[in-house]
Amino acid sequence: MRLTLFAAFLLAGCATQPLDAAQHAPGNAERETAAALSRAAAIEPRINAIIALDPTAIEQARAIDRSGESGPLVGVPVLLKDNIEARGPLPTTAGSLALKDNVTDRDSPLVAGLRDAGAVILGKTNLSEWANFRSENSNSGWSAVGGQTYNPHALDRSPCGSSSGSGAAVAAGIVDVAIGTETNGSITCPAAMNGIVGFKPSVGMVSRTHIVPISVTQDTAGPMTRTVYQAAAVMDAIAGSDPADKATVGTDKFRGTFVAGLDGASLKGVRLGVLDFATGFGTDEAFAAAKAQLERQGAILVPIAEIGAEPLADEISYNILLVEFRDGLNKYLASTPSAVKTRTLADLIAFNKADPRELAVFDQSIFEKADKTRIDDPDYLAGLEKNLAWSGPDGIDRLLKANGVEALIFPTTAPAMLIDHVHGDSWHGGGAGYIAAWAGYPHLTVPMGTTKGLPVGLSFMGAKWTDARILALGHAYEQARPALPTPQFYPSVMANPLFVPLLAKP
Protein backbone atom coordinates (compact mmCIF):
# COMPACT_ATOMS: atom_id res chain seq x y z
CA MET A 1 0.00 0.00 0.00
CA ARG A 2 1.27 3.48 -0.82
CA LEU A 3 2.07 5.39 2.37
CA THR A 4 -0.08 8.50 2.70
CA LEU A 5 -0.97 8.61 6.42
CA PHE A 6 0.46 11.45 8.49
CA ALA A 7 0.23 10.95 12.25
CA ALA A 8 1.19 13.36 15.02
CA PHE A 9 4.65 12.43 16.21
CA LEU A 10 7.43 14.22 18.04
CA LEU A 11 10.31 14.36 15.57
CA ALA A 12 12.89 15.32 18.17
CA GLY A 13 14.52 12.15 19.45
CA CYS A 14 12.72 9.93 16.96
CA ALA A 15 15.81 7.93 16.02
CA THR A 16 15.81 4.37 17.26
CA GLN A 17 18.43 2.96 19.63
CA PRO A 18 21.33 0.90 18.29
CA LEU A 19 20.79 -2.81 17.81
CA ASP A 20 22.25 -5.24 20.30
CA ALA A 21 21.42 -8.80 21.26
CA ALA A 22 20.01 -7.80 24.66
CA GLN A 23 17.62 -5.19 23.31
CA HIS A 24 16.11 -7.48 20.72
CA ALA A 25 14.95 -10.15 23.14
CA PRO A 26 11.99 -12.47 22.54
CA GLY A 27 8.59 -10.78 22.53
CA ASN A 28 9.62 -7.37 21.19
CA ALA A 29 8.89 -7.85 17.50
CA GLU A 30 5.32 -6.55 17.42
CA ARG A 31 6.18 -3.58 19.62
CA GLU A 32 9.17 -2.59 17.49
CA THR A 33 7.28 -3.06 14.23
CA ALA A 34 4.36 -0.95 15.43
CA ALA A 35 6.80 1.75 16.54
CA ALA A 36 8.51 1.72 13.13
CA LEU A 37 5.14 2.07 11.40
CA SER A 38 4.32 5.05 13.64
CA ARG A 39 7.65 6.67 12.84
CA ALA A 40 7.06 6.07 9.14
CA ALA A 41 3.64 7.73 9.31
CA ALA A 42 5.12 10.79 10.97
CA ILE A 43 8.40 11.19 9.11
CA GLU A 44 7.72 9.78 5.65
CA PRO A 45 5.75 12.76 4.31
CA ARG A 46 8.86 14.91 4.78
CA ILE A 47 11.36 12.68 2.98
CA ASN A 48 9.32 10.40 0.67
CA ALA A 49 11.66 7.45 1.19
CA ILE A 50 9.18 4.57 1.19
CA ILE A 51 7.38 3.25 -1.88
CA ALA A 52 5.16 0.78 0.01
CA LEU A 53 4.67 -0.78 3.43
CA ASP A 54 4.04 -4.51 3.68
CA PRO A 55 0.52 -5.06 5.09
CA THR A 56 1.72 -8.33 6.64
CA ALA A 57 4.38 -6.63 8.80
CA ILE A 58 2.48 -6.88 12.10
CA GLU A 59 1.48 -10.47 11.28
CA GLN A 60 5.16 -11.29 10.64
CA ALA A 61 6.11 -9.72 13.97
CA ARG A 62 3.51 -11.67 15.94
CA ALA A 63 4.75 -14.93 14.45
CA ILE A 64 8.31 -14.01 15.47
CA ASP A 65 7.17 -13.25 19.00
CA ARG A 66 5.44 -16.62 19.22
CA SER A 67 8.64 -18.36 18.10
CA GLY A 68 10.58 -17.25 21.17
CA GLU A 69 13.70 -16.58 19.08
CA SER A 70 16.45 -14.23 20.25
CA GLY A 71 19.36 -12.59 18.48
CA PRO A 72 20.56 -9.27 17.10
CA LEU A 73 18.04 -9.19 14.23
CA VAL A 74 15.04 -10.82 15.91
CA GLY A 75 12.06 -8.52 15.59
CA VAL A 76 14.04 -5.84 13.78
CA PRO A 77 12.02 -4.01 11.07
CA VAL A 78 13.93 -3.92 7.78
CA LEU A 79 13.20 -1.93 4.63
CA LEU A 80 14.23 -3.29 1.22
CA LYS A 81 15.20 -1.28 -1.82
CA ASP A 82 12.44 -1.86 -4.36
CA ASN A 83 14.57 -3.82 -6.79
CA ILE A 84 14.80 -6.73 -4.31
CA GLU A 85 12.06 -9.36 -4.38
CA ALA A 86 10.21 -10.50 -1.26
CA ARG A 87 7.25 -12.82 -0.98
CA GLY A 88 3.93 -11.21 -0.25
CA PRO A 89 1.60 -8.76 -1.99
CA LEU A 90 4.08 -6.00 -2.87
CA PRO A 91 5.43 -5.69 -6.42
CA THR A 92 9.13 -5.25 -7.14
CA THR A 93 9.14 -2.21 -9.41
CA ALA A 94 12.73 -0.88 -9.63
CA GLY A 95 10.82 2.43 -9.55
CA SER A 96 9.31 1.83 -13.00
CA LEU A 97 5.62 1.88 -13.84
CA ALA A 98 6.37 -0.94 -16.28
CA LEU A 99 6.86 -3.27 -13.28
CA LYS A 100 3.89 -2.12 -11.21
CA ASP A 101 2.38 -5.62 -11.58
CA ASN A 102 5.63 -7.48 -10.87
CA VAL A 103 4.31 -9.41 -7.87
CA THR A 104 6.53 -12.49 -7.92
CA ASP A 105 5.71 -13.71 -4.39
CA ARG A 106 9.23 -15.09 -4.06
CA ASP A 107 11.95 -14.23 -1.57
CA SER A 108 15.39 -13.38 -2.84
CA PRO A 109 17.94 -15.47 -0.92
CA LEU A 110 19.07 -12.43 1.04
CA VAL A 111 15.49 -11.80 2.19
CA ALA A 112 15.16 -15.46 3.15
CA GLY A 113 18.31 -15.00 5.24
CA LEU A 114 16.84 -11.96 6.97
CA ARG A 115 13.64 -13.85 7.76
CA ASP A 116 15.63 -16.82 9.10
CA ALA A 117 17.42 -14.38 11.42
CA GLY A 118 14.06 -13.13 12.73
CA ALA A 119 13.82 -9.80 10.91
CA VAL A 120 10.49 -8.25 9.90
CA ILE A 121 10.21 -7.09 6.27
CA LEU A 122 8.55 -3.72 6.80
CA GLY A 123 8.29 -2.62 3.17
CA LYS A 124 10.07 -1.25 0.11
CA THR A 125 12.11 1.93 -0.31
CA ASN A 126 12.26 4.33 -3.21
CA LEU A 127 15.30 4.36 -5.48
CA SER A 128 16.72 6.16 -8.44
CA GLU A 129 14.67 4.49 -11.17
CA TRP A 130 16.27 1.31 -12.57
CA ALA A 131 19.00 1.76 -9.95
CA ASN A 132 20.10 4.96 -11.71
CA PHE A 133 20.86 3.17 -14.96
CA ARG A 134 18.37 4.70 -17.36
CA SER A 135 19.65 8.19 -18.17
CA GLU A 136 23.04 9.88 -18.45
CA ASN A 137 21.42 13.02 -17.02
CA SER A 138 19.33 11.60 -14.20
CA ASN A 139 18.18 12.88 -10.81
CA SER A 140 19.23 10.72 -7.90
CA GLY A 141 16.32 9.60 -5.75
CA TRP A 142 13.57 10.02 -8.35
CA SER A 143 11.44 7.27 -9.81
CA ALA A 144 8.14 7.28 -11.67
CA VAL A 145 6.62 5.02 -8.99
CA GLY A 146 8.03 6.71 -5.89
CA GLY A 147 8.60 10.33 -6.90
CA GLN A 148 11.50 12.27 -5.35
CA THR A 149 13.21 11.25 -2.10
CA TYR A 150 14.71 14.06 0.02
CA ASN A 151 17.79 14.20 2.24
CA PRO A 152 16.64 14.56 5.88
CA HIS A 153 19.58 16.83 6.75
CA ALA A 154 18.46 19.45 4.19
CA LEU A 155 15.31 18.72 2.23
CA ASP A 156 16.45 20.51 -0.93
CA ARG A 157 19.55 18.29 -1.09
CA SER A 158 19.96 15.01 -2.92
CA PRO A 159 19.85 11.72 -0.99
CA CYS A 160 22.18 10.37 -3.70
CA GLY A 161 21.39 7.18 -5.55
CA SER A 162 20.46 4.68 -6.33
CA SER A 163 19.67 3.38 -2.82
CA SER A 164 18.27 6.78 -1.90
CA GLY A 165 15.18 5.71 0.01
CA SER A 166 17.12 3.18 2.06
CA GLY A 167 19.66 5.82 3.07
CA ALA A 168 17.11 8.51 3.88
CA ALA A 169 14.84 6.16 5.87
CA VAL A 170 17.67 5.01 8.13
CA ALA A 171 19.07 8.53 8.57
CA ALA A 172 15.63 9.88 9.48
CA GLY A 173 15.16 7.22 12.15
CA ILE A 174 12.30 5.26 10.60
CA VAL A 175 14.32 2.03 10.85
CA ASP A 176 17.76 0.96 12.01
CA VAL A 177 18.30 -1.31 9.02
CA ALA A 178 17.65 -1.12 5.30
CA ILE A 179 19.06 -3.02 2.37
CA GLY A 180 20.53 -1.30 -0.66
CA THR A 181 22.20 -2.49 -3.83
CA GLU A 182 25.34 -1.21 -5.51
CA THR A 183 26.90 -1.43 -8.93
CA ASN A 184 29.12 1.64 -8.62
CA GLY A 185 28.51 3.75 -5.50
CA SER A 186 24.80 3.10 -5.00
CA ILE A 187 25.17 1.99 -1.37
CA THR A 188 28.15 4.05 -0.30
CA CYS A 189 27.11 7.39 -1.83
CA PRO A 190 23.60 7.57 -0.30
CA ALA A 191 24.98 6.27 3.00
CA ALA A 192 27.63 9.01 3.10
CA MET A 193 25.33 11.83 1.96
CA ASN A 194 22.64 10.82 4.47
CA GLY A 195 25.11 10.33 7.33
CA ILE A 196 24.78 6.57 7.96
CA VAL A 197 26.85 3.40 7.62
CA GLY A 198 26.83 1.69 4.24
CA PHE A 199 28.62 -1.53 3.33
CA LYS A 200 29.22 -2.84 -0.18
CA PRO A 201 30.36 -6.44 0.27
CA SER A 202 32.71 -8.35 -2.01
CA VAL A 203 30.78 -9.36 -5.11
CA GLY A 204 29.68 -12.93 -4.44
CA MET A 205 29.38 -12.58 -0.68
CA VAL A 206 25.61 -12.06 -1.06
CA SER A 207 23.40 -13.73 -3.67
CA ARG A 208 21.95 -11.54 -6.44
CA THR A 209 19.16 -13.98 -7.34
CA HIS A 210 15.73 -12.29 -7.63
CA ILE A 211 17.22 -8.79 -7.63
CA VAL A 212 16.68 -6.62 -10.71
CA PRO A 213 20.14 -6.63 -12.32
CA ILE A 214 22.55 -4.17 -13.90
CA SER A 215 25.91 -5.95 -13.96
CA VAL A 216 26.76 -9.57 -13.20
CA THR A 217 30.33 -8.41 -12.64
CA GLN A 218 29.66 -5.56 -10.19
CA ASP A 219 26.19 -5.94 -8.63
CA THR A 220 25.79 -6.70 -4.94
CA ALA A 221 23.32 -6.01 -2.18
CA GLY A 222 24.42 -4.81 1.25
CA PRO A 223 23.35 -3.25 4.56
CA MET A 224 22.63 0.42 5.20
CA THR A 225 22.45 0.97 8.95
CA ARG A 226 23.00 3.37 11.82
CA THR A 227 26.05 1.52 13.18
CA VAL A 228 28.74 -0.85 11.93
CA TYR A 229 27.56 -3.45 14.45
CA GLN A 230 24.18 -3.47 12.75
CA ALA A 231 25.79 -3.87 9.34
CA ALA A 232 27.78 -6.86 10.65
CA ALA A 233 24.64 -8.45 12.07
CA VAL A 234 22.92 -8.11 8.70
CA MET A 235 25.92 -9.62 6.92
CA ASP A 236 25.79 -12.67 9.20
CA ALA A 237 22.21 -13.15 8.01
CA ILE A 238 22.55 -12.53 4.27
CA ALA A 239 26.01 -13.80 3.32
CA GLY A 240 26.30 -17.27 1.84
CA SER A 241 26.28 -19.39 -1.26
CA ASP A 242 23.45 -19.78 -3.77
CA PRO A 243 23.51 -22.42 -6.54
CA ALA A 244 21.78 -19.94 -8.86
CA ASP A 245 24.57 -17.36 -8.49
CA LYS A 246 27.95 -18.84 -9.33
CA ALA A 247 29.79 -15.83 -7.88
CA THR A 248 28.78 -17.02 -4.39
CA VAL A 249 30.56 -20.39 -4.48
CA GLY A 250 32.32 -21.04 -1.17
CA THR A 251 30.90 -18.08 0.72
CA ASP A 252 29.03 -20.10 3.37
CA LYS A 253 32.24 -20.11 5.40
CA PHE A 254 31.91 -16.37 5.97
CA ARG A 255 28.45 -16.49 7.55
CA GLY A 256 28.72 -15.99 11.29
CA THR A 257 32.10 -14.26 11.12
CA PHE A 258 30.99 -10.64 10.90
CA VAL A 259 29.71 -9.78 14.39
CA ALA A 260 32.31 -12.09 15.92
CA GLY A 261 34.99 -10.18 14.03
CA LEU A 262 34.08 -6.98 15.87
CA ASP A 263 35.10 -8.37 19.27
CA GLY A 264 38.21 -6.60 20.45
CA ALA A 265 38.46 -4.61 17.22
CA SER A 266 41.34 -2.18 17.45
CA LEU A 267 43.32 0.12 15.21
CA LYS A 268 46.47 -0.02 17.33
CA GLY A 269 49.41 -0.70 15.04
CA VAL A 270 47.18 -1.10 11.97
CA ARG A 271 48.71 0.40 8.82
CA LEU A 272 46.18 2.24 6.66
CA GLY A 273 46.89 3.67 3.21
CA VAL A 274 45.58 7.23 2.81
CA LEU A 275 44.55 7.79 -0.81
CA ASP A 276 45.59 11.42 -1.09
CA PHE A 277 44.66 11.41 -4.79
CA ALA A 278 41.02 10.82 -3.78
CA THR A 279 40.58 13.68 -1.31
CA GLY A 280 39.16 17.20 -1.42
CA PHE A 281 35.71 18.27 -2.74
CA GLY A 282 34.75 19.96 0.53
CA THR A 283 35.77 17.13 2.85
CA ASP A 284 39.25 18.28 3.92
CA GLU A 285 38.39 19.48 7.43
CA ALA A 286 36.32 16.41 8.32
CA PHE A 287 38.92 14.06 6.82
CA ALA A 288 41.72 15.74 8.78
CA ALA A 289 39.74 15.21 11.98
CA ALA A 290 39.11 11.57 11.08
CA LYS A 291 42.79 10.95 10.38
CA ALA A 292 43.72 12.51 13.72
CA GLN A 293 41.19 10.26 15.46
CA LEU A 294 42.61 7.18 13.72
CA GLU A 295 46.12 8.12 14.83
CA ARG A 296 44.94 8.63 18.42
CA GLN A 297 43.64 5.06 18.24
CA GLY A 298 47.09 3.89 17.23
CA ALA A 299 46.69 3.56 13.48
CA ILE A 300 49.73 4.18 11.28
CA LEU A 301 48.73 6.29 8.27
CA VAL A 302 50.68 5.85 5.04
CA PRO A 303 50.10 8.53 2.36
CA ILE A 304 49.57 7.26 -1.19
CA ALA A 305 49.91 10.04 -3.75
CA GLU A 306 48.69 8.25 -6.86
CA ILE A 307 47.32 4.99 -8.14
CA GLY A 308 50.60 4.31 -9.90
CA ALA A 309 49.08 2.86 -13.05
CA GLU A 310 47.21 4.44 -15.93
CA PRO A 311 43.50 4.35 -15.07
CA LEU A 312 41.23 2.55 -17.46
CA ALA A 313 39.12 4.84 -19.60
CA ASP A 314 35.67 5.37 -18.09
CA GLU A 315 34.04 4.49 -21.40
CA ILE A 316 35.42 0.94 -21.21
CA SER A 317 33.87 0.42 -17.79
CA TYR A 318 30.63 2.03 -18.98
CA ASN A 319 30.48 -0.31 -21.98
CA ILE A 320 30.81 -3.31 -19.66
CA LEU A 321 27.74 -2.15 -17.75
CA LEU A 322 25.75 -1.47 -20.93
CA VAL A 323 26.41 -4.98 -22.26
CA GLU A 324 25.74 -6.79 -19.00
CA PHE A 325 22.63 -4.72 -18.29
CA ARG A 326 20.86 -5.64 -21.53
CA ASP A 327 21.71 -9.32 -21.17
CA GLY A 328 20.82 -9.57 -17.48
CA LEU A 329 17.67 -7.46 -17.65
CA ASN A 330 16.23 -9.42 -20.58
CA LYS A 331 16.75 -12.62 -18.60
CA TYR A 332 15.15 -11.09 -15.52
CA LEU A 333 12.12 -9.79 -17.40
CA ALA A 334 11.59 -13.24 -18.91
CA SER A 335 11.25 -14.60 -15.34
CA THR A 336 8.57 -12.15 -14.25
CA PRO A 337 4.82 -12.97 -14.02
CA SER A 338 2.70 -12.81 -17.16
CA ALA A 339 1.06 -9.65 -15.80
CA VAL A 340 4.31 -7.83 -16.67
CA LYS A 341 3.93 -6.99 -20.37
CA THR A 342 7.40 -5.55 -20.94
CA ARG A 343 9.46 -8.68 -21.62
CA THR A 344 12.63 -7.10 -23.04
CA LEU A 345 14.66 -3.91 -22.79
CA ALA A 346 13.24 -2.90 -26.17
CA ASP A 347 9.75 -3.25 -24.70
CA LEU A 348 10.73 -0.97 -21.82
CA ILE A 349 12.02 1.69 -24.20
CA ALA A 350 8.70 1.64 -26.04
CA PHE A 351 6.75 1.69 -22.77
CA ASN A 352 8.62 4.77 -21.54
CA LYS A 353 8.01 6.63 -24.79
CA ALA A 354 4.29 5.99 -24.42
CA ASP A 355 4.05 7.02 -20.76
CA PRO A 356 4.29 10.78 -20.07
CA ARG A 357 5.38 10.35 -16.44
CA GLU A 358 8.30 8.07 -17.20
CA LEU A 359 10.19 10.62 -19.30
CA ALA A 360 8.96 13.74 -17.51
CA VAL A 361 12.13 14.24 -15.44
CA PHE A 362 14.94 12.61 -17.45
CA ASP A 363 15.44 10.59 -20.62
CA GLN A 364 16.40 6.97 -21.29
CA SER A 365 19.72 7.48 -23.08
CA ILE A 366 21.35 4.58 -21.22
CA PHE A 367 18.53 2.22 -22.17
CA GLU A 368 18.88 3.18 -25.82
CA LYS A 369 22.64 2.64 -25.83
CA ALA A 370 22.40 -0.64 -23.94
CA ASP A 371 19.85 -2.08 -26.36
CA LYS A 372 22.41 -1.86 -29.17
CA THR A 373 24.94 -4.07 -27.35
CA ARG A 374 25.54 -7.83 -27.41
CA ILE A 375 27.06 -10.06 -24.74
CA ASP A 376 29.36 -11.80 -27.22
CA ASP A 377 30.98 -8.53 -28.33
CA PRO A 378 34.78 -9.16 -28.30
CA ASP A 379 35.41 -5.56 -27.20
CA TYR A 380 33.26 -6.23 -24.12
CA LEU A 381 35.16 -9.38 -23.24
CA ALA A 382 38.57 -7.72 -23.69
CA GLY A 383 37.49 -4.65 -21.72
CA LEU A 384 36.14 -6.77 -18.89
CA GLU A 385 39.44 -8.61 -18.52
CA LYS A 386 41.41 -5.36 -18.44
CA ASN A 387 38.95 -3.70 -16.06
CA LEU A 388 39.12 -6.52 -13.51
CA ALA A 389 42.92 -6.71 -13.69
CA TRP A 390 43.48 -2.96 -13.39
CA SER A 391 41.16 -2.44 -10.44
CA GLY A 392 41.87 -5.69 -8.55
CA PRO A 393 45.28 -7.41 -8.80
CA ASP A 394 46.97 -4.39 -10.40
CA GLY A 395 44.96 -1.88 -8.38
CA ILE A 396 43.79 -2.44 -4.82
CA ASP A 397 45.91 -5.56 -4.25
CA ARG A 398 49.03 -3.87 -5.54
CA LEU A 399 48.46 -0.71 -3.48
CA LEU A 400 48.00 -2.77 -0.33
CA LYS A 401 51.14 -4.83 -0.91
CA ALA A 402 53.41 -2.06 -2.18
CA ASN A 403 52.63 0.18 0.78
CA GLY A 404 52.46 -2.53 3.41
CA VAL A 405 48.95 -1.53 4.50
CA GLU A 406 45.90 -3.53 5.54
CA ALA A 407 43.24 -1.26 4.08
CA LEU A 408 42.82 1.99 2.14
CA ILE A 409 40.98 5.06 3.43
CA PHE A 410 39.60 8.21 1.78
CA PRO A 411 36.55 10.51 1.93
CA THR A 412 33.64 8.63 0.38
CA THR A 413 32.18 11.44 -1.71
CA ALA A 414 31.31 15.13 -1.66
CA PRO A 415 28.52 16.58 0.50
CA ALA A 416 25.04 16.30 -0.98
CA MET A 417 24.31 18.36 -4.07
CA LEU A 418 21.08 20.25 -4.66
CA ILE A 419 18.14 18.41 -6.19
CA ASP A 420 17.81 19.85 -9.70
CA HIS A 421 15.13 18.54 -12.06
CA VAL A 422 16.20 21.00 -14.75
CA HIS A 423 19.89 20.19 -15.12
CA GLY A 424 20.11 16.83 -13.38
CA ASP A 425 22.65 15.75 -10.77
CA SER A 426 25.72 17.96 -10.36
CA TRP A 427 28.60 15.89 -9.04
CA HIS A 428 31.26 17.80 -7.12
CA GLY A 429 33.85 15.09 -6.72
CA GLY A 430 34.08 11.64 -5.25
CA GLY A 431 36.58 9.32 -3.69
CA ALA A 432 38.06 6.07 -4.97
CA GLY A 433 35.06 3.80 -4.41
CA TYR A 434 34.80 3.11 -8.12
CA ILE A 435 37.96 0.99 -7.85
CA ALA A 436 36.28 -1.36 -5.37
CA ALA A 437 33.13 -1.36 -7.52
CA TRP A 438 35.03 -2.38 -10.67
CA ALA A 439 37.07 -5.02 -8.81
CA GLY A 440 34.16 -6.42 -6.78
CA TYR A 441 36.03 -5.75 -3.50
CA PRO A 442 34.53 -4.63 -0.14
CA HIS A 443 33.92 -0.94 0.59
CA LEU A 444 32.59 0.46 3.89
CA THR A 445 31.58 4.06 4.60
CA VAL A 446 31.21 5.36 8.16
CA PRO A 447 30.04 8.91 9.03
CA MET A 448 33.08 11.06 9.89
CA GLY A 449 31.68 14.58 10.23
CA THR A 450 29.87 17.37 8.43
CA THR A 451 30.59 20.07 5.88
CA LYS A 452 28.33 23.10 6.28
CA GLY A 453 25.87 20.92 8.14
CA LEU A 454 25.87 18.13 5.54
CA PRO A 455 27.25 14.65 6.38
CA VAL A 456 30.41 13.23 4.83
CA GLY A 457 31.71 9.69 5.17
CA LEU A 458 35.04 7.94 5.72
CA SER A 459 35.69 4.97 3.43
CA PHE A 460 37.55 1.76 4.26
CA MET A 461 38.43 -0.38 1.23
CA GLY A 462 40.26 -3.71 1.18
CA ALA A 463 41.06 -6.89 -0.69
CA LYS A 464 38.52 -9.41 -1.92
CA TRP A 465 36.84 -11.44 0.85
CA THR A 466 38.27 -9.27 3.66
CA ASP A 467 34.76 -8.02 4.41
CA ALA A 468 34.75 -8.96 8.10
CA ARG A 469 38.09 -7.25 8.68
CA ILE A 470 36.98 -4.06 6.90
CA LEU A 471 33.90 -3.95 9.13
CA ALA A 472 36.08 -4.44 12.22
CA LEU A 473 38.31 -1.52 11.26
CA GLY A 474 35.31 0.72 10.66
CA HIS A 475 33.78 -0.39 13.97
CA ALA A 476 36.98 0.50 15.87
CA TYR A 477 36.98 3.97 14.31
CA GLU A 478 33.27 4.47 14.97
CA GLN A 479 33.58 3.62 18.67
CA ALA A 480 36.04 6.45 19.27
CA ARG A 481 34.58 9.03 16.88
CA PRO A 482 32.74 11.96 18.50
CA ALA A 483 28.96 12.04 18.27
CA LEU A 484 27.59 13.62 15.10
CA PRO A 485 24.45 15.73 14.50
CA THR A 486 21.21 13.93 13.70
CA PRO A 487 18.90 15.08 10.88
CA GLN A 488 16.67 18.04 11.72
CA PHE A 489 14.76 18.18 8.41
CA TYR A 490 15.84 21.73 7.61
CA PRO A 491 14.32 22.97 4.34
CA SER A 492 17.82 23.96 3.20
CA VAL A 493 21.39 24.23 4.48
CA MET A 494 20.88 27.95 5.02
CA ALA A 495 17.91 27.27 7.32
CA ASN A 496 20.30 25.59 9.75
CA PRO A 497 20.69 27.92 12.78
CA LEU A 498 24.46 27.75 12.23
CA PHE A 499 23.99 29.75 9.03
CA VAL A 500 20.93 31.93 9.64
CA PRO A 501 23.02 34.83 11.06
CA LEU A 502 25.09 34.88 7.88
CA LEU A 503 22.01 35.77 5.83
CA ALA A 504 21.51 39.08 7.59
CA LYS A 505 23.38 42.28 6.73
CA PRO A 506 26.46 42.77 8.91
The residue extents of the domains of the chain are 29-265+413-503, 321-375
pLDDT at residue 244 in the model:
98
User: Could you tell me which residues come within 8 angstroms of residue 92 by beta carbon, excluding any fewer than 6 positions away?
Assistant: 82, 83, 84, 85, 86, 99, 102, 103, 104, 124, 212
pLDDT of residue 27: 80
> Nearest CA to 218 among 183, 179, 180?
183
Taking the CA atoms of residue 232, residue 238, residue 244 and residue 250 in that order, the dihedral angle to the nearest 10 degrees is: 50
Q: Could you tell me what percent of the chain has a pLDDT over 90?
A: 91
Residue 25 pLDDT: 59
CA 365 – CA 151 distance, rounded (Å): 26
- 229: Cα separation from own chain's centroid: 16
Residues found in the chain? 506
Report CA dihedral (243, 244, 245, 249) to the nearest 10 degrees.
Answer: 10
**Count of Cβ atoms closer than 10 Å to residue 381 Cβ:** 12
pLDDT of residue 14 exceeding 60, the answer is: no
**Secondary structure (DSSP) of 156-174:** TB---SSSHHHHHHHHTTS
Confidence of residue 427 (pLDDT cuts 50, 70, 90): very high
List, for residues 136-145, the tens digit of each pLDDT value.
999 999 999 9
pLDDT tier, 233 (very low <50, low <70, confident <90, very high otherwise): very high
Task: Give the Cα separation of 112 and 361 in Å (integer).
Answer: 35
Q: Which residues are catalytic?
A: 81, 162, 186
Q: The whole model's pTM is what?
A: 0.95
Residue 24 binned pLDDT confidence (cut-offs 50, 70, 90): low
Average pLDDT over residues 340-361: 98
Distance, CA of 55 to CA of 49 (rounded, Å): 17
Looking at residue 26, what is its pLDDT? Answer: 65
Tell me what the pLDDT averaged over the chain comes to: 93
CA neighbor of 192 nearest in space, from 424, 438, 460: 460
The CATH code that applies to domain 29-265+413-503 is 3.90.1300.10
Q: Judge contact between 124 and 108, C-beta under 8 A.
A: no
pLDDT for 10 beyond 90: no
β-bridge pairing 142-143 and 147-148:
antiparallel
Over 70: is that where the pLDDT of 15 sits?
Answer: no
- Among 16-20, 172-176, 432-436, whose mean pLDDT is lowest? 16-20
Note the pLDDT tens digit of each residue in 34-76: 999 999 999 999 999 999 999 999 999 999 999 999 999 999 9
pLDDT band at 22 (very low <50, low <70, confident <90, very high): very low
**Cα–Cα distance for residue pair 452/157, rounded to 1 Å:** 12
**Is 9:42 a contact under the CB 8 Å cutoff?**
yes
Average pLDDT of the residues in 122-142: 98
Neighbouring-strand partners of residue 273: 302, 408
* pLDDT value at 505 more than 90: no
Q: Which of 16-20, 316-320, 413-417 has the highest mean pLDDT?
A: 413-417
Rounded Cα–Cα distance for residues 471 and 232 (Å): 7
